[in-house]
Amino acid sequence: MASDDEFYADIRSADGTYKFLVDGAWRESSSGRTCGSVAPADANAPAYAFQACTPGEVDEAFAAARAAHRQWARTPLHERAALLHEVAAEMRARRAPMAACLVREIAKPAKDANTEVVRSADLIDYAAEEGVRALGVGTLLHADSFPGAARDKLCLASKVPLGVVLCIPPFNYPVNLAVSKIAPALIAGNAVVIKPPTQGCVAGLHMAQCFRAALEKCGAPAGLVNVVTGAGAEIGDYMTSHPSVNLVSFTGGDTGLSVAKKANMVPTQMELGGKDACLVLPDADVALAASAVVKGGFSYSGQRCTAVKLVLAFPEVADELVELVCAKIEALRVGRPEEDADITALVSKRSADFVQGLVEDAVAKGASLKQPWRREDNLVWPTLVDHVTSDMRLAWEEPFGPVVPVVRVTSEAEALRFVNESKYGLQGCVFTRDVDAAIRVADLMETGTVQVNGPPARGPDHFPFQGVRDSGIGSQGIINSIETMTKTKSVVINLAKPSYALA
């Protein structure tokens, strides 16, 4: 087997700049320009440089995908699945360079970076198997099941691919949330064009090389997987409104709202922001809830769409809950990602500035910090903010950092107001020992998912995952994505009428 250096040699130019991928070839842009990512844990020092693609090169990527799709759509399902299994094997074998990029580009703790790559390979394997089961069947309809119709028609309804899927993953999971789009698209018979985020781009390029190697080994069309790099402000709108796009699958923040508006009636699959609330009822297991708040609120420094971003605690448990959470915060290690610290630098100075602004607004309006405010460059120490009220920005806005607000509520109605009047509606959770209360509150929470006695979470990756309001459009999860990335085609057979009557 080739060494990692040999395997990844083609994706870099002689000067170390990373190339983009079109129709199986790694190329340098005709623009002569590059973009760059930074190292958040190193005072935003330059990390990697990659190509700034032109609109013409975007056109070439879509043309390659369109041509590849026509062949791939008629490729047997078992061959599509075999390709995905090959990709998964390549990713497991080449996980170290990808994980190293995640550590450097997005300050993801080393253990979590490795987990993301392995989890992504598992997702690809599962998508291959699920796709064979889900797409290997059709529906046969008889006309006479409808009133007044005769038994002279048969309809064979089957799932066929949409065509070309534009995949736009976010910075925080640039590998996992890329393959969660790519794998269902490919097993369904589509081709893909990927626009990686600026931070996390190079991890995505390493991932793409695993796809390229598998395509070549399996004899699949080279243009099935294409990667276009550059600044979203320059080519983003051009890509999302491109006439060759048949579906836009986007994960990110409020940018997705404008993407959906510019998609020219093309189907969209959107997973956007969240303000995931944790309701702790009077009879809750407070120790369990405290563990969930810390895990849900501070994992990857709170930079997760499903992070706990609001705690709604009743008077009977609020003091104990705050005390337990603070004790657990003291045990969190703050430091560098390669040392597996629990809290690492936020992805950008802008993100850290935003978090600090939310905290300053809350304190100015009467909230109390349970830990002293501390920040160095992008690194923000974990903070619990108590006695947050509805007039504070922190009660409603998504911090995307290691800051968790506590609102003390006196009734379910008051708690549910914070959930249901939010512009977001991704996930929520409720802690209680009363199964009736759990079902009642879950039913009243207007979110895509409700966790009972556990923190918000995306996975396992085959679970349905969706939001309401500004948190998204459509549903994800492997089988849901396969459904979204296909359409129904009907073949109606008009039967000849018999020339004789049955006795």
Return the active site residues: 271, 305
Which whole-number Å values give the CA distances from 257 to 101, 171, 272, 472, in the listed order? 29, 17, 8, 8
Distance, CA of 461 to CA of 483 (rounded, Å): 15
Distance, CA of 231 to CA of 236 (rounded, Å): 7
DSSP 58-98: HHHHHHHHHHHHHHHTTS-HHHHHHHHHHHHHHHHHTHHHH
Distance, CA of 348 to CA of 198 (rounded, Å): 11
Q: How many helices (H) and strands (E) does the chain have?
A: 15, 24
Find the helix or strand (DSSP H, E) in which 259 lies: helix 255-261
Cβ atoms of 480 and 449 within 8 Å: the answer is no
DSSP 118-159: HHHHHHHHHHHHHHHHHHS--EEEEGGGSTT--S-EEEEEEE
Distance, CA of 423 to CA of 421 (rounded, Å): 6
Under DSSP, the state recorded for 265 is: T
The half-sphere exposure of 484 on its side-chain side, counting CA atoms within 13 A, is 28
Q: At what angle do helices 232-240 and 55-72 cross, to 10 degrees?
A: 40
Which structure tokens are listed for 191?
A: 């081709």
Cβ atoms of 305 and 294 within 8 Å: the answer is no
Which whole-number Å values give the CA distances from 362 to 207, 370, 388, 410, in the listed order? 41, 13, 7, 20
Which residue's structure tokens are 């626009």? Answer: 195
What residues contact 388, with CB distance under 8 A and at least 6 apart?
Answer: 362, 367, 394, 395, 405, 406, 407
Cβ atoms of 168 and 185 within 8 Å: the answer is no
